[in-house]
Structure 1
Amino acid sequence: MQSYERLRFFLDGMLYMMALFSLLSYFQQRKAIYWQYAVYIVCITLTFYLDDADTSSEYIPGTNYWITSLESLAFVMYISFAVQLIRIQENDPLSYRILRVMTLLLAGETIFEGLLFLFGTNDEIKSLSYAVFRFSVAGAALVVVPRIMRLRQPVVSYFITGSLLFVAGCLVALVVNYFPSVFNRNPDNPFTFSVTFMQLGVVGEVLCFTLGMSLRNRQNELEKIRVQEQLIAQLRENDLKNQKLLRIRDDIARDLHDELGADLASISMVSHATAHQMTTDPAQALQSLKQIGETARKVIQVMREIVWSLHSAHDSAQQFTDRLRETGLSLYEHHPAKLHFEFNTDGQPVPSHMRRDLYLVYKELVHNALRHSGANNVYVQFQFSNATVFLCVKDDGKGFDPALPHTGNGLINLKKRAESLNGQLCIGKNGNTGTSTTLTCQLQAYS
């Protein structure tokens, strides 16, 4: 076997192995880029065979219909490969539209030159048609290539390098035709054949394109990993939200049972008793009706508080502090003690899942100061900034020692509310007299 044949056999083997690898990759991954890449390699290799078989010294480009058809098909596959490898449709829609026009030009050229071949048109017209279409495609490529290079993607460098190697091989092969005395197709010297340089350029191109596809696959894998991490994070966030919802449901159930259950049961029992008292003791029946009315109003008030604490429209800090002020003033409306407010928020919303516990702690503290302190002044300080919640209620009354035994569930409920907020509740003296109670909690700790 002569040197030229051995080199061609080696280079052809490399190209066909890459085509086979691409086909197997397609059957494994079902991505169109692989079979299109294989068709491109086969078309280019067959074109080399046809070029090599044409030994005419007066060869005119574009007169061999089979060569031009294979070239056009190869270019179409090349364009489709580039679109998918670089994701041109997403990254540069204008270039994508130009490439579609180039594909239509190549398809139109194949059809038109097929008609010229069928009608036996002379070689000059065939060559002219070939030149017009090829120069049109080349002009469009000159617009697209700089735009692709501006994308600055790592995979673009492989694509451009491979394309330049192929173009360089074609240019060398073109120059070879003008030096027949040197490049005289000597079988013992493979570099006297113009096809050798074109094939070397394609081999370099194929290697670069393969590296580019490997890089693209790696990027796709990393993107899948990022998407999976985002999904996992979203699932965790959803799980936390579900836990919050379950906690809210449990809180509502507890509030309905503890605060409304007994009152509603009382209304039911008193109403039955009232029915008998209407005939036996009308005066007592009237008192029972008043008791029913007071209990019903209490139930309505508790229901309003529950609905308010859950309504998303009340998330703003301003609405929350307005609610604190309204509740405090309502409690102290007929009491000589004065209520003083100091609110400091940064506009950050108060989450609904902690709003009710905060509100109930506040209500219990101002209610205790009203009932037990005998104070002339009660001071309320509420701060909500930098994800830190600070609530302080202090008075100038007779004081309170939390270390002493106390009856009632007020202090127990306060501690439970503080624990549910993951906060710290401190009860101490306000100077020489009075009581100071503070609640501090972190928003992140609670969430």
Structure 2
Amino acid sequence: MSLTLVFRKYFLTLGLIFGVYVTGMADSLQVVIHNLPGIQTAGPIGFQICHDRRAIPSSILQQPFITNSDVLEKWIKQYGQRVCYWIRFSLENTDPQPVRAYLHVDYFGKMVLYALLPDDTPQLTGGPAAEKSASTPPSLLQTVEFEIPPQRQTTYLLQLSSTSDDEVGMSNLEIYSRPSLLQSFLQQYYGDRRARFLQLLFLGFMCSQMLYVLFQWIIVKRKEYPCYFLYLVLVTMYYLHKYYQETGIYSPFAYYPELRFYLKAFLLMLPYLFYLMFIRYFLELKHLDASVEKSVRYLEHTIWIYVIIDLILRILFPGEVWINDLLMVSIVFVFACCLYLIFKLIKHHDILVTLILTGSMIAGLGGVIGILITLLQIDWGLLSSNLNSLVTGQIGVVIETIIFTTSLGLKNRRVEKEKIKHQQRLIAQLQENEQLRKNMDNIRNNIAKDLHDDIGATLTSILLYSNAAVNRKKMTLKEAKNIFRKISQISADMMENMSDIVWAIHPVHDSMKKLIQRMIYYALPLTRAKNIQFHFEEEEHIREVILDMNKRKNIFLIFKEGVCNVLKYAEASTVVVRLYQLQGNLHLTIEDDGKGFIETQTEGNGLKNMKFRAEDCGGSLTIESAPGKGTCIHLQVSI
């Protein structure tokens, strides 16, 4: 097996079943004839190798052939799939009729048979020209059908090569009649039931995992499921075509071995691509680590580009070994990039990330073991036992899929918890919205009440004064001016109250800055008109506070009522307004140096309205006053 085959499995697929395979040769390579009485071997078997896969048989015949089978075994271990192997042997047919025969050689993907004419001219006898399709019996898939001429000795030249990922090696050249070939095939198929059972068990496990992922995708509709499904499909296809003889499942790769050459990068590189996409979606790398997510995307694009280039190269240069070497280097590069990204993600210390990365590392470990087995057993010849290097890959696949299932359960629990938290947030938001709706209803009701009271009382007063003016037959000019002055004053008060309400409900005035501006705009002209010194003191950053409509309206009306009381009753020379925050509350104080009063002896509606408005906005109002010591109104509102 070449390093190309080994690295293809590295980090991509891992394994399930231990087994044994045969490569290399028997102690002495022989031509073994089965159930062909008139056919016998003639002369020794010769061997030769050629690095040029396009070499023609006539040029091969000009070179000497070696008869020592030990040399051929060394060549196979040294060169593997990198060269073509040529074998020359002779058969004698003593029957008066030509005999139809079938040649079978182990572990070679391509066999071409030439017959040497009496003048040593090679003539194509069997090989690629023979069409094979789904109707071809499985027993004929790895054989070359040819005809042995009657009553003569014929020398044959057999070309063996492998451009796919088949094992390279042989035991004997087996020549069968069609009945004996079928019988040998059935004996081999039913002989090793253990290997077939284990491989079918592995394929069943993979198929069940694919169905599980497919159903999860149909139910949940998450992006990572189709990526992981395609990864499993490609891995299963790889092992299916590797073990089609053991399982008896003959895929198109068995009937058309050329597909294994042209689609080699698809089977080896695309699983990396889909697994990277799966990790990117499953771990939500965009939110977990944006830099790693960006690197993974670049690596995915690189794999896509390489797969297309590899296919083009294989079409333009069929049979070139360097294409497989380039593929091996590319797989090593992709693995190194994946290893680097894994170490970058480990730092997050998340159990879900750890599980997925552990599965990937186990997959890589299975590939490494496969590489070591191949190097020690085939390339270096240091391992005498013939272990199946594919097994480590299968073991890794099973462990990785089990870890995936565990990770999926963990993520589903996380998603359910997030859904519950999201639902709780929605419920809290709905409750908050309902409370806001109730607050807005209360505010609208209060506004309607204020409008009804102010407008109703004002219009009633205007109506009464107007009727009084109309009903009085004799009215002096002074009396008429007095009535019209009162009507004008009432109208002005109503307009001012309407202005306050409109200002309070307008959302552009939600900031404390707008409230302060209106306070100063209202109080400063009135105090100047009364020759009262007006001072407004505000704490730093107080203007950044945001107030709702109800609090803003009530705070301003309390301020307005307090200033009006100073102007009307206090006989003060100075009034100081302070606005500040303390322990999460907004504090407003209105302090004057007027004559003061005894609070218990005052029953005016103004003070009652101020306390009512303070309670309406969730605050408290205190009034401190004494005769001759001025008055201090203190409003405290939570913000």
Structure 2 counterparts to residues 202-217 of structure 1, below 5 A:
202-217=397-412
SS of the equivalent of 1:382 reads: strand
Task: Name the counterpart of 2:303.
Answer: 102
Tell me, yes or no, if the aligned pair for 1:158 and 1:208 is still in contact at 8 Å: yes
Task: Name the counterpart of 2:333.
Answer: 139
What amino acid maps onto 1:412 in structure 2? K
Is residue 442 of structure 1 aligned with residue 633 of structure 2? no
Task: Name the counterpart of 1:355.
Answer: 552
- RMSD (Å), alpha carbons: 3.8
Q: Deviations over 1:179-209 (max 9, x none)?
A: 1685655xxxxxx222212211222222233
Task: Name the counterpart of 2:45.
Answer: none
What amino acid maps onto 1:410 in structure 2? G
SS of the equivalent of 1:74 reads: helix
Find the aligned partners of 1:423 and 1:263 in 2 and give their Cα distance: 30
Is residue 21 of structure 1 aligned with residue 222 of structure 2? no
Find the aligned partners of 1:319 and 1:74 in 2 and give their Cα distance: 64
Is residue 418 of structure 1 aligned with residue 609 of structure 2? no
Structure 2 counterparts to residues 230-241 of structure 1, below 5 A:
230-241=425-436
Give the direction of change, closer, same or farther, for the CA distance of 1:442–1:345 in structure 2 (3 Å limit).
farther
Find the aligned partners of 2:635 and 2:412 in 1 and give their Cα distance: 55
Give the direction of change, closer, same or farther, for the CA distance of 1:324–1:385 in structure 2 (3 Å limit).
farther
Give the direction of change, closer, same or farther, for the CA distance of 1:322–1:34 in structure 2 (3 Å limit).
closer
Off by >6 Å, runs of 4+ in structure 1 = 277-280
Percent of residue pairs bearing the same amino acid type: 26
Is residue 255 of structure 1 aligned with residue 456 of structure 2? no
State which structure, 1 or 2, has the greater radius of gyration over its C-alpha atoms: 2
Is residue 86 of structure 1 aligned with residue 283 of structure 2? yes
Give the direction of change, closer, same or farther, for the CA distance of 1:334–1:94 in structure 2 (3 Å limit).
same
Tell me, yes or no, if the aligned pair for 2:276 and 2:296 is still in contact at 8 Å: no
Find the aligned partners of 1:61 and 1:342 in 2 and give their Cα distance: 91
SS of the equivalent of 2:599 reads: coil
Task: Name the counterpart of 1:188.
Answer: none
Offset of residue 387 of structure 1: 2.8
Give the direction of change, closer, same or farther, for the CA distance of 1:148–1:216 in structure 2 (3 Å limit).
farther
What amino acid maps onto 2:322 in structure 1? L
Which region of structure 1 is more displaced relative to structure 2, 245-254 or 6-15? 6-15
SS of the equivalent of 1:193 reads: coil
Tell me, yes or no, if the aligned pair for 2:596 and 2:627 is still in contact at 8 Å: no
Tell me, yes or no, if the aligned pair for 2:527 and 2:534 is still in contact at 8 Å: yes
What amino acid maps onto 1:84 in structure 2? Y
Task: Name the counterpart of 2:274.
Answer: 77
Tell me, yes or no, if the aligned pair for 1:315 and 1:351 is still in contact at 8 Å: yes
The correspondence for 2:587, drawn from 390, 393, 399, is 390
Offset of residue 87 of structure 1: 3.0
Tell me, yes or no, if the aligned pair for 2:595 and 2:627 is still in contact at 8 Å: no
Task: Name the counterpart of 1:43.
Answer: 234
Tell me, yes or no, if the aligned pair for 1:172 and 1:197 is still in contact at 8 Å: yes
SS of the equivalent of 2:601 reads: coil
Find the aligned partners of 1:277 and 1:89 in 2 and give their Cα distance: 84
Find the aligned partners of 1:69 and 1:440 in 2 and give their Cα distance: 75
Offset of residue 341 of structure 1: 4.3
What amino acid maps onto 1:388 in structure 2? N
List runs of 5+ in structure 1 lacking aligned partners: 186-191
What amino acid maps onto 1:132 in structure 2? L
SS of the equivalent of 1:332 reads: helix
The correspondence for 1:159, drawn from 340, 356, 376, is 356
Q: Deviations over 1:118-168 (max 9, x none)?
A: xxx753x1x433432453354355345424542444333333322222232
Find the aligned partners of 1:64 and 1:140 in 2 and give their Cα distance: 20
Give the direction of change, closer, same or farther, for the CA distance of 1:101–1:175 in structure 2 (3 Å limit).
same
Task: Name the counterpart of 2:597.
Answer: 400
What amino acid maps onto 1:45 in structure 2? T
What amino acid maps onto 1:332 in structure 2? T
Task: Name the counterpart of 1:128.
Answer: 322
Task: Name the counterpart of 1:30.
Answer: 221
Q: Deviations over 1:2-53 (max 9, x none)?
A: 6544544544444333223222322332334334423422432332243245
SS of the equivalent of 2:618 reads: coil
Tell me, yes or no, if the aligned pair for 1:428 and 1:436 is still in contact at 8 Å: yes
Find the aligned partners of 1:262 and 1:243 in 2 and give their Cα distance: 28
Give the direction of change, closer, same or farther, for the CA distance of 1:312–1:30 in structure 2 (3 Å limit).
closer
Q: Deviations over 1:297-342 (max 9, x none)?
A: 2232223222333344444445433433343333333435554544
Give the direction of change, closer, same or farther, for the CA distance of 1:161–1:10 in structure 2 (3 Å limit).
same
Give the direction of change, closer, same or farther, for the CA distance of 1:352–1:330 in structure 2 (3 Å limit).
farther
The correspondence for 2:623, drawn from 404, 427, 437, is 427
What amino acid maps onto 1:293 in structure 2? S
Task: Name the counterpart of 2:392.
Answer: 197
Offset of residue 363 of structure 1: 1.8
Give the direction of change, closer, same or farther, for the CA distance of 1:25–1:339 in structure 2 (3 Å limit).
closer
The correspondence for 1:310, drawn from 483, 488, 505, is 505
Which region of structure 1 is more displaced relative to structure 2, 296-305 or 411-420? 296-305
Find the aligned partners of 1:184 and 1:279 in 2 and give their Cα distance: 135
Structure 2 counterparts to residues 274-423 of structure 1, below 5 A:
283=477, 287-335=482-530, 338-347=533-542, 348-353=544-549, 354-404=551-601, 406=603, 408-423=604-619
Task: Name the counterpart of 2:252.
Answer: none
Give the direction of change, closer, same or farther, for the CA distance of 1:285–1:130 in structure 2 (3 Å limit).
farther
Find the aligned partners of 1:334 and 1:32 in 2 and give their Cα distance: 74
Q: Deviations over 1:369-413 (max 9, x none)?
A: 33334445444333334432223334444443333363x422221
What amino acid maps onto 2:407 in structure 1? G
Find the aligned partners of 1:389 and 1:221 in 2 and give their Cα distance: 42
Give the direction of change, closer, same or farther, for the CA distance of 1:145–1:349 in structure 2 (3 Å limit).
same
Find the aligned partners of 1:279 and 1:61 in 2 and give their Cα distance: 123
SS of the equivalent of 1:400 reads: coil
Tell me, yes or no, if the aligned pair for 1:184 and 1:193 is still in contact at 8 Å: no
Which region of structure 1 is more displaced relative to structure 2, 297-306 or 226-235? 226-235
Find the aligned partners of 2:311 and 2:612 in 1 and give their Cα distance: 83
What amino acid maps onto 2:589 in structure 1? C
SS of the equivalent of 2:528 reads: coil
What amino acid maps onto 1:135 in structure 2? V
Offset of residue 357 of structure 1: 0.7
TM-score using structure 2 length: 0.57
SS of the equivalent of 1:255 reads: helix
Tell me, yes or no, if the aligned pair for 2:273 and 2:300 is still in contact at 8 Å: no
TM-score using structure 1 length: 0.78
Find the aligned partners of 1:169 and 1:321 in 2 and give their Cα distance: 74
